[in-house]
Amino acid sequence: MTKYSFLDDYSEGAHPNILKALSDTNMVQQTAYGDDAYSQEARDLLRQHMGESNPDIWFVASGTLANILAISSALRSHEAVVAAASGHIVVRETGAIEATGHKIINVPPIHGKLTPKSITAALDANAHFPHMAKPRLVYISNATEVGTVYTKSELVALSKLCKARGLLLLLDGARLGAALSADKNDLTLEDIADLTDIFWMGGTKVGALFGEAIVIPNPKLREEFNFHIKQRDALLAKGRILGLQFRELFRDGLYFDLARHSNDMARRLSDGITKAGYSFVPETETNQLFPILPDDLIDHLKGHFDFYVWEPFDASSSVTRLVTSWATDEERVDEFVSEVQKFTS
Amino acid sequence: MTKYSFLDDYSEGAHPNILKALSDTNMVQQTAYGDDAYSQEARDLLRQHMGESNPDIWFVASGTLANILAISSALRSHEAVVAAASGHIVVRETGAIEATGHKIINVPPIHGKLTPKSITAALDANAHFPHMAKPRLVYISNATEVGTVYTKSELVALSKLCKARGLLLLLDGARLGAALSADKNDLTLEDIADLTDIFWMGGTKVGALFGEAIVIPNPKLREEFNFHIKQRDALLAKGRILGLQFRELFRDGLYFDLARHSNDMARRLSDGITKAGYSFVPETETNQLFPILPDDLIDHLKGHFDFYVWEPFDASSSVTRLVTSWATDEERVDEFVSEVQKFTS
Amino acid sequence: MTKYSFLDDYSEGAHPNILKALSDTNMVQQTAYGDDAYSQEARDLLRQHMGESNPDIWFVASGTLANILAISSALRSHEAVVAAASGHIVVRETGAIEATGHKIINVPPIHGKLTPKSITAALDANAHFPHMAKPRLVYISNATEVGTVYTKSELVALSKLCKARGLLLLLDGARLGAALSADKNDLTLEDIADLTDIFWMGGTKVGALFGEAIVIPNPKLREEFNFHIKQRDALLAKGRILGLQFRELFRDGLYFDLARHSNDMARRLSDGITKAGYSFVPETETNQLFPILPDDLIDHLKGHFDFYVWEPFDASSSVTRLVTSWATDEERVDEFVSEVQKFTS
Amino acid sequence: MTKYSFLDDYSEGAHPNILKALSDTNMVQQTAYGDDAYSQEARDLLRQHMGESNPDIWFVASGTLANILAISSALRSHEAVVAAASGHIVVRETGAIEATGHKIINVPPIHGKLTPKSITAALDANAHFPHMAKPRLVYISNATEVGTVYTKSELVALSKLCKARGLLLLLDGARLGAALSADKNDLTLEDIADLTDIFWMGGTKVGALFGEAIVIPNPKLREEFNFHIKQRDALLAKGRILGLQFRELFRDGLYFDLARHSNDMARRLSDGITKAGYSFVPETETNQLFPILPDDLIDHLKGHFDFYVWEPFDASSSVTRLVTSWATDEERVDEFVSEVQKFTS
């Protein structure tokens, strides 16, 4: 990998504070399976952002596991998930949710998002009971898989609908840091804890080696959740290293600083590409960018950088995907923009 | 239920021949779990229609079980099913396939059917391996859930595509009798045994009390299938009563006679309604009819008959569903048509 | 099958009353999927035996399905079943319960039965939470797989323990008729409805063509049970034929009469064999007999009758299994005894 | 945790070489999901120990996941696992294997081990097909859950039986390092690759932060294994940190050195406790010790050390469990022995 990569936000290791904390605590003996002191400190730090909800918090190894746990612990076998057709659980988890026995009802997304209207339509089309699985949990991502974010009023509307219709609301926050640090964002972690039944926050994409934090505001969903974590093996014997990473991320706001850096780098890229005359689908809101570029420019850029060609746009241009991260080097961003502008002018 | 019902094709009991055979054989002791003489006779009768394929044949209690068995015995956990979004396994089996751990990839149907083009598009959209479940089995219904049938050239094309792409082909024949007796049909049971890997034929909707016959032309899918039947409890202790019913249905072509009656009654209804000036979506090909009727006519007819109002068509009319069966009374059909024509003229 | 069979209690068809009722009602149109008039009549007849509990009642196609439904609808994925190692779900259902995702904790049986002591020992050995699955449901059979029955005091003791330890109690009544008609029995259907959370009563082994009745005294277990029935396809489109059979069985006590006949035939066999000097493991309590016979006598009897050689007893004798049924012919019983006595004297 | 802990072998972090490697490579961009340079280096190092078998190798996050993957990717739904009743998958994984749909047939262990005889007995008792799940995979652990090891002749005998009976052999090597470094051991990694179909080697208990290596000698089991890894989310986005840790462990034999240290510390403890007059069940072979100690001595030791009281032995003594690790401090071992000897003399 000699070319600079904008493929994803997990091509580097971890923020140095995390490596230092691992070193500093390495030979201290700690209780296994998440009952260690560092996980407790991390939970305390996270709960300071959650207001009254005082949620249960679990640190698990990865994101698909977080989705598996949230869904399979909450649902009976006849209950289904409602999700955008673009949702990570629909198109990037190798059928992991179905492998736990649950149907996912696909809803056409609007820029990666669900709306009360689109959910209501799915409920109406899935009401021939008991011949149809019962919709019971709504899955959303923030930021979405196309980098867009939910505003507070949008999330409030979803939450109201869910309560009115007896649906649980799960928010996949693999990139929640980027969402909460977006210019367009007006949500806080406290809002999210108030408006959802269960959500999780990614560490992997915000400077951790790995690890995600599952937060459970709804007390009913907390019951015997620990059994599920063990059954799916989402928690490590040395759970301390999960807790320690979140302690570092939330000690002095590092989590938000790193997410903001990735957004800043995305905006810098986005502004430069826009100046060169190109547009985006959808508009850039977080650290994923989807510029529409001429195929010959793409060929040129591929000589210097790694990034995805997402899908054809027309006969001579394509939608591409660039991702920035907590570790993205500003100089390389400027080089990319410079190559685009040179080629175009 | 005092009004005459066109709700479905399972509102009556069984053809008298079946009841008579049950009586005649009642006190004969037979081996349990499908190893009885009647099941063997029924298999022999069915195989006479299957040409060289010499398939394994199992009689099971019901249709969703037949789908569960065909799919869960054939697939590994990472393998997915490709099906029309209107498919029975998608919208009428309460997530039964997902409950066995398998994802269903939904394809937009064309009059209830799949085409090589629509399947290929689904394969292309589900090729980001191993992040996506692997499409491995194509599920079709004949007749479809909207009463349409596959022609031989259509089925040949699907079969070729499946072979070329390493896909298994499963045909749900809950209403295969009606399909094979349709005017438009040019397929034989032998064709179906040649062109699919596994299929099943409904007895419930063609004059049996209950029971479906699973036919397995593909030798690889036959391996240890009996374990799956037992695990899902699809076979009865008194398997004799499943075999006996199929023996009666296939002894002198009763299966085809009964299916033809249901199609004839459907055409009689359809012709009468057409003459009164109404149209259908889609056109009537088997024993399910979907006339578009004015809402006030529907109200009137509901005073005399039971049938489904399927979905709104426009502000003052709706798509309805009428189903005829092996037992449908021609006089009642004529009464229905007469009510439609009286109301309209 | 030319020899007379004592292999099982499902080698014949159905009691003539059932065949007659099928004929009498055959052309009456009825609502599908269990909402028919006959199923309602059957539920009313059954509830007359259940006292205050006023349970939900569902008629399903077969016994393994009844167990799958009772267990998979009641448990979350981390919850386990406690069962005798000889239980039907452990050794005769091809892993059907595990296929729904649930562990079965095996308990050494005492003549096929569980006791408060043996259950408590299993709970103690499975308490290292959350590393062990949580015992949540106790499964018992009455009559058991070796033909023994629970007395009222035994069932009361199990029920108390279950309530005290937060366990659900499921009773598999595939042969409940035989149990309730046993000389040793002091339980009523009402007792069973009072003492269990969910149970089911077999029709297959008491003169029905097929069909089992699931009875749900515990209101919590009733919630959305219908979805599970549909998902596992336990209910038939023509659910009327399930309901109709139970209506006939419970109209004038036929169910108990037929069960008593099978027990009477068993006692007649048992008495005759005992007189010839042979013993049983365990003692005969219902319609399954386990005589220990010399191997040369077994060879002789095999020339005239079908029955199972269960397991070797010593170098020259084996435990055999004989089963009598509602249809067992008294003359054939006497012939069997006569052959035993001739050979022995 | 102020007392010194002999609770387990995962109370500390990682060997310093691993932390250093994480630091050294931290900002290098690498391909995600295991396609990085470090994982490739680690695979090459491991394969040097495997002789001709040239197995596929996957690095996954944890041990229960390794078992889930090995079993659920290899078996069809009607196939069962044969395991010792003391096996980790039976008693410490919260029903994780059953949650993937597979039955485990429990075999009475002999010092934690299976033998051809005990397996054959289980096969004989589970042969009533298709009413019983089909035994298809034998699960063993080396070292076992009670610290014992398999000799080469024992493993050869199991392997032969498995081949003869059409069974797959899976070896859980959570503590394989300790086993291969035991005095009694005469197996090599190459032997294990020759004699098993699939096995995995723990990193967590031999100085890694976390991570296990799945090794697949049997080519049939390699097919599309990557889909399963993704579906169960066993592989991390930053798979590099799994590969990197195994690269360090296998670069200069560190894995074996660390395992040997844990065994040396166990023997030192064991020798000291033996000298004080106490015995063990079973004898100490690796880094888990099960001394039988008087309850008052246990109370005394608990003031200074953490360890498990495993089970009562008699009225005044108990079996305890002590575990040593790659990080165990020799001075603390000597202190423990000294306390035992002081108390006893």
Could you tell me if C91 lies within 8 Å of chain B, comparing CB atoms?
Answer: no
Give the pLDDT mean for A15-31: 98
Are residue C26 and residue C98 in the same domain, yes or no?
Answer: yes
Helix (H) or strand (E) holding D142: none
Which one of C198, C226, C252 terminates a domain? C252
Helix (H) or strand (E) holding B57: strand B56-60
**pLDDT given at position A344:** 85
Are the C-beta atoms of residues D176 and D150 closer than 8 Å to each other? no
Are residue C99 and residue C232 in the same domain, yes or no?
Answer: yes
Q: Out of A8, A65, A327, whose CB is closest to D233?
A: A65
Are residue D242 and residue D267 in the same domain, yes or no?
Answer: no
Share of chain A above pLDDT 90, in %: 98
Which residue's entry shows tokens 């779990």? B33
For B101-113, how does the pLDDT look when each residue is reduced to its tens digit (9 = 90+)?
999 999 999 999 9
Are the C-beta atoms of residues A174 and A287 closer than 8 Å to each other? no
Q: What residue in A sits closest to C128 (Cα-Cα)?
A: A227
Could you tell me if C101 lies within 8 Å of chain A, comparing CB atoms?
Answer: yes
Spatial separation of the C-alpha atoms in residues B317 and B304, rounded to whole Å: 19
Confidence of residue C344 (pLDDT cuts 50, 70, 90): confident
Spatial separation of the C-alpha atoms in residues B222 and B229, rounded to whole Å: 12
How far is B271 from chain A, CA to nearest CA, in Å? 30
Spatial separation of the C-alpha atoms in residues B87 and B90, rounded to whole Å: 5
Confidence of residue A141 (pLDDT cuts 50, 70, 90): very high
Coil vs helix vs strand at A182 = coil
How far is A294 from chain C, CA to nearest CA, in Å? 50
Are residue B110 and residue B198 in the same domain, yes or no?
Answer: yes
Spatial separation of the C-alpha atoms in residues D265 and C294, rounded to whole Å: 60
Are residue A272 and residue A235 in the same domain, yes or no?
Answer: no
**pLDDT given at position A17:** 98
Q: Crossing angle for the helix pair D240-251 and D37-47, nearest 10 degrees?
A: 40
Among A136, A174, A137, A149, smallest CA distance to A60 is for A174
Average pLDDT over all residues of chain B: 97
Coil vs helix vs strand at D14 = coil
Which one of A190, A218, A253 terminates a domain? A253
Confidence of residue A235 (pLDDT cuts 50, 70, 90): confident
Domain span including residue B144: 16-252
Q: Do A19 and D4 touch (CB under 8 A)?
A: no
Spatial separation of the C-alpha atoms in residues C246 and C242, rounded to whole Å: 7
Spatial separation of the C-alpha atoms in residues D199 and C89, rounded to whole Å: 31
Could you tell me if B5 lies within 8 Å of chain D, comparing CB atoms?
Answer: no
Q: Do C93 and D130 touch (CB under 8 A)?
A: no
Q: Out of C94, C130, C133, whose CB is closest to D132?
A: C94
Are the C-beta atoms of residues C203 and C176 closer than 8 Å to each other? no
Q: Out of C30, C63, C96, whose CB is closest to B231?
A: C96
Could you tell me if A127 lies within 8 Å of chain B, comparing CB atoms?
Answer: no
User: Looking at residue C133, what DSSP letter applies?
Assistant: P
Chains A & C: contacts with CB separation below 8 Å: 51
For C143-169, how does the pLDDT look when each residue is reduced to its tens digit (9 = 90+)?
999 999 999 999 999 999 999 999 999
* Predicted confidence (pLDDT) at residue D1 exceeds the cutoff of 70: no
Could you tell me if C230 lies within 8 Å of chain A, comparing CB atoms?
Answer: yes
By the 10 Å C-beta count (0-12 exposed, 13-18 middle, 19+ buried), B152 is classed as middle
Give the CA distances from residue C198 to residues A332, C44, C53, C57, C136, in Å, rounded to whole numbers and listed in that order: 66, 18, 11, 10, 13
Domain tally, chain A: 2
> What helix, strand, coil percent values describe chain A, rounded to 5?
45, 20, 35
Could you tell me if B222 lies within 8 Å of chain D, comparing CB atoms?
Answer: no
Count H helices, E strands: chain A? 15, 13
**pLDDT given at position C85:** 97
Q: What residue in D sits closest to A17 (Cα-Cα)?
A: D23
Are residue C234 and residue C87 in the same domain, yes or no?
Answer: yes
**In sequence order, what are the residues at sequence separation of 6 or more whose Cβ sits closer than 8 angstroms to the Cβ of residue C252?**
none
Give the pLDDT mean for A22-49: 97
**pLDDT given at position B235:** 87
Q: What residue in A sits closest to B130 (Cα-Cα)?
A: A94
Are residue A186 and residue A40 in the same domain, yes or no?
Answer: yes
Is beta strand C212-216 parallel, antiparallel or unpaired with respect to C198-202?
antiparallel
Could you tell me if C77 lies within 8 Å of chain D, comparing CB atoms?
Answer: yes
**pLDDT given at position D45:** 98
For A65-90, how does the pLDDT look when each residue is reduced to its tens digit (9 = 90+)?
999 999 999 999 999 999 999 999 99
Using a CB-CB cut-off of 8 Å, the residues of chain B touching D103 are none
Q: What residue in D sits closest to A27 (Cα-Cα)?
A: D12
Among B126, B205, B137, B201, smallest CA distance to B167 is for B137
Using a CB-CB cut-off of 8 Å, the residues of chain A touching B98 are 98, 101-104, 133
**pLDDT given at position B345:** 80
**pLDDT given at position B2:** 78
Identify residue C65 by its one-letter amino acid code: L
How far from the centroid of its chain's Cα atoms is residue C15's Cα? 18
Are residue A200 and residue A223 in the same domain, yes or no?
Answer: yes
How far is B143 from chain D, CA to nearest CA, in Å? 30
User: Given a contact as 3+ CB pairs under 8 Å, which chains touch C?
Assistant: A, B, D
By the 10 Å C-beta count (0-12 exposed, 13-18 middle, 19+ buried), B124 is classed as exposed
Using a CB-CB cut-off of 8 Å, the residues of chain D touching C93 are 131
For D210-262, how does the pLDDT look when each residue is reduced to its tens digit (9 = 90+)?
999 999 999 999 999 999 999 999 989 999 999 999 999 999 999 999 999 99
Q: What residue in A sits closest to C134 (Cα-Cα)?
A: A227
Q: What residue in D sits closest to C100 (Cα-Cα)?
A: D101
* Predicted confidence (pLDDT) at residue B15 exceeds the cutoff of 90: yes
Could you tell me if C78 lies within 8 Å of chain A, comparing CB atoms?
Answer: yes
For D292-342, how does the pLDDT look when each residue is reduced to its tens digit (9 = 90+)?
999 999 999 999 999 999 999 999 999 999 999 999 999 999 999 999 999
By the 10 Å C-beta count (0-12 exposed, 13-18 middle, 19+ buried), A99 is classed as buried
Q: Out of A12, A95, A240, whose CB is closest to D231?
A: A95
CATH number at residue D228: 3.40.640.10
Helix (H) or strand (E) holding B110: none
Give the pLDDT mean for D110-137: 97
Q: What residue in C sits closest to A103 (Cα-Cα)?
A: C231
Are the C-beta atoms of residues B60 and B234 closer than 8 Å to each other? yes
Confidence of residue C43 (pLDDT cuts 50, 70, 90): very high
Confidence of residue D345 (pLDDT cuts 50, 70, 90): confident
How far is C232 from chain A, CA to nearest CA, in Å? 10
**pLDDT given at position D329:** 97
Could you tell me if B80 lies within 8 Å of chain A, comparing CB atoms?
Answer: yes
**pLDDT given at position C235:** 87
Are residue C330 and residue C186 in the same domain, yes or no?
Answer: no
Give the pLDDT mean for B211-224: 98
**pLDDT given at position D167:** 98
Q: Do C230 and B64 touch (CB under 8 A)?
A: yes
Which one of B202, B230, B252 terminates a domain? B252
User: Given a contact as 3+ CB pairs under 8 Å, which chains touch A?
Assistant: B, C, D
Question: Six-digit token pair at C65?
Answer: 């399905």
Using a CB-CB cut-off of 8 Å, the residues of chain B touching D130 are 224, 226-227, 229-230
Are residue C264 and residue C214 in the same domain, yes or no?
Answer: no
Are residue C63 and residue C143 in the same domain, yes or no?
Answer: yes
Spatial separation of the C-alpha atoms in residues C221 and C53, rounded to whole Å: 13
For B121-138, how does the pLDDT look when each residue is reduced to its tens digit (9 = 90+)?
999 999 999 999 999 999
Are residue C297 and residue C238 in the same domain, yes or no?
Answer: no
**pLDDT given at position B193:** 98
**pLDDT given at position D344:** 85
**pLDDT given at position B240:** 98
Confidence of residue D117 (pLDDT cuts 50, 70, 90): very high
**In sequence order, what are the residues at sequence separation of 6 or more whose Cβ sits closer than 8 angstroms to the Cβ of residue C166?**
C136
Q: What residue in A sits closest to C223 (Cα-Cα)?
A: A76
Could you tell me if D58 lies within 8 Å of chain B, comparing CB atoms?
Answer: no
Could you tell me if D227 lies within 8 Å of chain B, comparing CB atoms?
Answer: yes
User: Looking at residue B179, what DSSP letter applies?
Assistant: H
Confidence of residue A2 (pLDDT cuts 50, 70, 90): confident
CATH number at residue A316: 3.90.1150.10
Confidence of residue C2 (pLDDT cuts 50, 70, 90): confident
By the 10 Å C-beta count (0-12 exposed, 13-18 middle, 19+ buried), C280 is classed as middle
For A264-317, how does the pLDDT look when each residue is reduced to its tens digit (9 = 90+)?
999 999 999 999 999 999 999 999 999 999 999 999 999 999 999 999 999 999
Give the pLDDT mean for B237-255: 97
Using a CB-CB cut-off of 8 Å, the residues of chain B touching D227 are 78, 129-130, 133-134
Q: Crossing angle for the helix pair A152-165 and A116-125, nearest 10 degrees?
A: 30
Confidence of residue B299 (pLDDT cuts 50, 70, 90): very high
Coil vs helix vs strand at B320 = strand
